[in-house]
A and B are shown apart, each in its own frame.
Chain A
């Protein structure tokens, strides 16, 4: 991606840290609001990033979320260190979940996360290596305000 970014910031997410789960997304939503991104894009981006953050907390050891903003797009890249996903097609199916009771007690783990990220994003790419981790690229076009 050769496009020039006007802002790029990294956020560290710690796996298993349930009490802080969701804080990064809350901060990112504040940043997007401060720089005046269209509200219809903010809500889609916030939901997608919150789902992605929860996935790191629930399943990975750690993750780095990089937010890059250019005049044309919001780009979130999330690289996690963790077990990886065995079958991405299956993980993309609504309702498929490998969540534990602890995750469900938090109100998560219903198997809606990845499908919901895809639903909200303008572009979504996922790659995973078993035993190493998962990489997500989540993009939002800024010149395409309004509902997806």
Chain B
């Protein structure tokens, strides 16, 4: 699913990375806990989070996340935005809450980072 489709589905605002909306996203994971993102995240993940400090972007960069969608209308601070620009990580923000964000993307065919079969 292209990032632009995700933006439309979630009626999200693009904070940075407008030029990367054509990127293909193949799976996602949602957590406010960066400890879990570091433990279970995989390169290429679309990270859905309500944690809006700079740590969210630093964590995304460490695990080679493809992009971040902030839920509940959150937006990162200027330091987070600056790092995302430097590293080319698109940042989006949706007013939807975590459950609705995940459900909407999942029901449109975007799988999670893990499945019960693993």
Interface membership of B118, Cβ < 8 A: no
Residues of B within 8 A of A51 (CB): 38
**Out of A19, A29, A107, A111, which one reaches B62, CB within 8 Å?**
A29
B43 (CB) vs chain A CBs: closest residue? A43
Interface membership of A68, Cβ < 8 A: no
Contact pattern, A 13-29, Cβ under 8 Å of B = 1, otherwise 0: 00000010111011001
Asked if residues A106 and B55 are in contact (CB atoms below 8 Å), the reply is yes
Interface membership of B101, Cβ < 8 A: no
Asked if residues A110 and B35 are in contact (CB atoms below 8 Å), the reply is yes
**Out of B34, B38, B43, which one reaches A106, CB within 8 Å?**
B34
**Out of B35, B36, B49, B55, which one reaches A21, CB within 8 Å?**
B55
Q: List B residues 3-25 near A (Cβ within 8 Å).
A: none
A22-B55, A43-B43, A116-B39 in contact; A108/B63 too (CB < 8 A)?
Answer: no
Residues of A within 8 A of B55 (CB): 21-22, 106-108
Other than the known A107-B33, A107-B56, A110-B35, what 7 A-B pairs have Cβ atoms closer than 8 Å?
A23-B58, A29-B62, A46-B62, A108-B33, A110-B33, A112-B35, A119-B39
Q: List B residues 33-63 near A (Cβ within 8 Å).
A: 33-39, 43, 49, 51, 53-56, 58-59, 61-63
**Out of A22, A26, A107, A119, which one reaches B51, CB within 8 Å?**
A107
Interface membership of A133, Cβ < 8 A: no
Q: Size band of the B side of the interface? A: 20 to 34
Which residues of B are interface residues toward A (Cβ below 8 A)?
A: 32-39, 43, 49, 51, 53-56, 58-59, 61-64, 79, 83
Asked if residues A108 and B58 are in contact (CB atoms below 8 Å), the reply is no
B83 (CB) vs chain A CBs: closest residue? A26
Query: A25 CA to B33 CA in the complex, in Å?
Result: 18
Asked if residues B59 and A22 are in contact (CB atoms below 8 Å), the reply is yes
Asked if residues B58 and A25 are in contact (CB atoms below 8 Å), the reply is yes
**Out of A25, A106, A112, which one reaches B53, CB within 8 Å?**
A106
Contact pattern, A 75-111, Cβ under 8 Å of B = 1, otherwise 0: 0000000000000000000000000000000111111
Residues of B within 8 A of A50 (CB): 38, 58-59, 62
For the complex of A and B, 7 pairs with smallest distance between CB atoms: A107-B34, A110-B35, A22-B58, A112-B35, A107-B51, A46-B62, A112-B39
